[in-house]
Amino acid sequence: MKFKVSILLIFGFLIGSASSSNLCISKTLSFCQYGFNQNLNVTSTTADWTNPGTLSFIIRSYYLQGIDGLLSVCNARQQFAQCLGDQYDSCMSKLNFIASGESPEDAQAYVQLFRTMEFDCDGGFIQSSRNWPCIAAVLQTKEDMLNQCRQTYNDALKKDPSSLCQSSADYETCYRHFFFTTCGPEVSWWACERTRRGLSIDTDCPMDTCSLVASGVSSGDATSSEGVQKVFEMKTNAALVMRQLAAGKH
């Protein structure tokens, strides 16, 4: 398994290097990061991939300000993604940063932060925006427990890198639990999916998916769950979801 993951990484790296349209140009990335930081009034000159903890702290402080804080982050992220254009995906790959000398931990943390924001602001935006007060409350009051979920994941991976898929699934279950108990099944799904997207494991763990109701947790009101499920099934197409939501209003 360890071998297979390495092969996948090397293969992905070669593909990434071979196609010029898939290169992450570091000058462009620096420029776009500068714009992102300006939009969030970040004055620290080292709040970038060399210091993902600083960036993460700043974004979290916006998140805890409530929905306006979320919108500020999403606005900055949107401009960042537009700034990178078709370099976005290759820049949001930890291999890019490892290749340029960052530690695997920093590379992972930086990419995870931006992939998580991408979900909060894009794929999961409907759920983020309508549940933000509850989400922000859990982020604040359950911080230690949520950090413990991540620590357990990091420790498990360090001990056995081949446990990636199981450790990721355990992380998702651990993380979503705190959102389920406070905010209910929709936010529990949101928390699982945001964790999964943050880990960028689509290629390595294609079987890992986030169900609306976590296994082992009894389902609540079946009819309302079905309604939510219908919206979730369309989550990859935000425009359709918007239209469906708008259609449901009259």
Ligand X SMILES: *[C@@H]1O[C@H](CO)[C@@H](O)[C@H](O)[C@H]1NC(C)=O
Residues that bind ligand X (CB under 6 A): 40-41, 72
Whose structure tokens read 């309508």?
Answer: 130
Whose structure tokens read 């931990």?
Answer: 105
Fill in the amino acid letter for 177. Answer: H
> What is the nearest approach in angstroms of ligand X to the Cβ of residue 66?
12
Smaller CB distance to ligand X: residue 62 or 178? 62
Smaller CB distance to ligand X: residue 41 or 166? 41
> What is the nearest approach in angstroms of ligand X to the Cβ of residue 78?
13
Smaller CB distance to ligand X: residue 24 or 55? 55
Tokens of 224: 């309302």
> What is the nearest approach in angstroms of ligand X to the Cβ of residue 57?
15
Smaller CB distance to ligand X: residue 24 or 73? 73
3-state DSSP helix/strand/coil percent for the chain, to nearest 5? 75, 0, 25
Tokens of 83: 């700034």
> What is the nearest approach in angstroms of ligand X to the Cβ of residue 41?
4
> What is the nearest approach in angstroms of ligand X to the Cβ of residue 137?
21
List of long-range contacts for 199-203, beta carbons under 8 Å, 24+ apart: 199/112, 199/115, 199/168, 199/171, 200/92, 200/93, 200/94, 200/111, 200/112, 200/115, 201/164, 201/165, 201/168, 203/8, 203/12
Smaller CB distance to ligand X: residue 22 or 39? 39
